[in-house]
Amino acid sequence: MIKERRLQLKAEIDRRSGFCFGVVKAIEKAEALLNQGQRVYCVGQIVHNDEEVNRLKEKGLITIGFEDIRELKGENILFRAHGEPPDTYEQVRKHNNVLVDATCPIVLKLQRDVHQAWLRGKQVFIFGKAGHPEVKGLAGQTNGRARVFRTLEELKELELPRALTLFSQTTMNPEAFKTVVSYIKDRGIEVEERDTICRQVSGREEDMKTFSRNHDRIVFVAGQHSSNGKMLYEVCRSNNPYTHFISRTDELDRSWFSPRETVGVCGATSTPQWLLEEVKQKIESF
């Protein structure tokens, strides 16, 4: 059998890729308890990355759904960085469970602001993805009365009041948020705009554009369910058409590459650094 010749690829990892600080803190809290031999249940996937979820599962982290909480008593129950609505807090405490709240501080502040706006009688609108864990937590601050929309087209389908307070899911696109605000104002509606987009996430777009253009090819690594990953992947692809999306190293295909290409390896805020390193190593082994 003839051995394939090495492609002599040079791979570089984007220095700003990898977990955001909110996800880092959530995983640190989980591992601290697991390393003590304690049992930990996490409501939903701790991060939208199957590879990292499987790593923590091997260490003992148990992923559950909201409906499972009522079956637990006296257990450690962890809330991930996305946050949870008030009724989840109530369910955890009802059976004397220990709450390990790893909600991102930025999301916690956003939840409080949404709740205060609702208490003041404001019409709360949320620019975000309905059904996303973070958005569920935000809408829960208004007893589910907030109006949620993901696109300008969805907003146009809603009946708008004379005045509203507009919040955003932390991972949405800042330019899209500005477009939404302009549309509402053009309709003659009074809008209190609360740009609550996390700059650790949105600030990566410009860097990602430059990073993508500076390499022959891009390999973007993220979980299939990562909203942030899908958004940043599109940023890369629009600036470098030779961009490939993978979730695991075994999805890499040698045929994508040509000899001596430079390959940029990057990922979402939910992509672990160890996975980026593995992808880099495999690319350079081709």
- Catalytic residue IDs: 134
Place of tokens 């705009």: 193
Specify which residues 10 forms β-bridges with: 262
H or E stretch covering 236: helix 227-239
Question: What's the rounded Cα separation, in Å, for the pair 263 and 281?
Answer: 11
Long-range residue pairs from 139-145, CB within 8 A, at least 24 positions apart, any chain? 139/85, 140/84, 140/85, 140/86, 140/87, 140/88, 141/85, 141/86, 141/111, 141/112, 141/114, 141/115, 142/114, 142/115, 142/118, 143/118, 145/118
Which amino acid would we find at residue 138?
L
**Measuring CA to CA, how many Å separate 81 from each of 105, 126, 180?**
8, 18, 26
Q: How far apart are the first and last CA of the chain?
A: 17
**Measuring CA to CA, how many Å separate 149 from each of 2, 6, 12, 53, 139?**
56, 49, 37, 29, 12
